[in-house]
Structure 1
């Protein structure tokens, strides 16, 4: 608590103001939900988009309580995963499906290539 019985020097005032600012910042951080704690990123993406698109993104982000960056990164990441998974989808007729199940029921014996493949992370896990 500041001492109101004496005059405060400019240096003391600036120190007190800085401490109060730090305390209010710390309180604001503590008031945030736990999931809002951000992990520091190590790269940057710069985008040029129309103002209408930016406003649309901002509105959608606000609705779910996210920042623009959080919203864009999460949306782009999810879409990237979906695109990669779509490349792994295949359609089979009845005969092909029966053959597919036969192969699944009789897997090959483990070998070096299979072990290496199973150790490989998916692109979104790297």
Structure 2
């Protein structure tokens, strides 16, 4: 008898209303994904975001003092950024309201 392979995947079951299923199926179809792939990807992305938001940042007292000094310093003008921000938005161009 051949040894059975150990599965690394774990089943996850949910009960969802028809409206949620329809919404998920529509979005998954637009992405060319199966419902399972779409929900798995969305759940993993949401979990990563929560973990990133709650991550604790540790630094030495010296590092924190340097960090605070940089935040407290006067802002530096970045000329290319100023130029970009002065341009009209693409959706405002040609509207006759300029």
TM-score by length of 2: 0.50
More RCO (CA 8 Å, sep 6+): 1
RMSD (Å), alpha carbons: 2.8
Q: What do residues 42-79 of structure 1 show as CA deviations (whole Å, max 9, x unaligned)? A: 21001001100000000000000000000000000000
- Matched with 2:14 is 47
- Matched with 2:50 is 83
Q: How many residues align?
A: 58
- Matched with 2:38 is 71
Segments of 4+ moved more than 3 angstroms: 99-102
> How far is the alpha carbon of 1:100 from its aligned partner?
4.7
* Residue number among 21, 24, 45 corresponding to 1:57 in the alignment: 24
Paired residues for 1:1-126 under 5 Å: 42-88=9-55, 97-100=64-67
Q: Flag the 1:62–1:89 CA change in 2: closer, same or farther, 3 A.
A: farther
Unmatched segments (≥5 aa) in structure 1: 1-39, 91-95, 103-126
Which structure carries more helix by proportion?
A: 1
**In 1, distance between residues paired with 2:12 and 2:48?**
18
TM-score by length of 1: 0.40
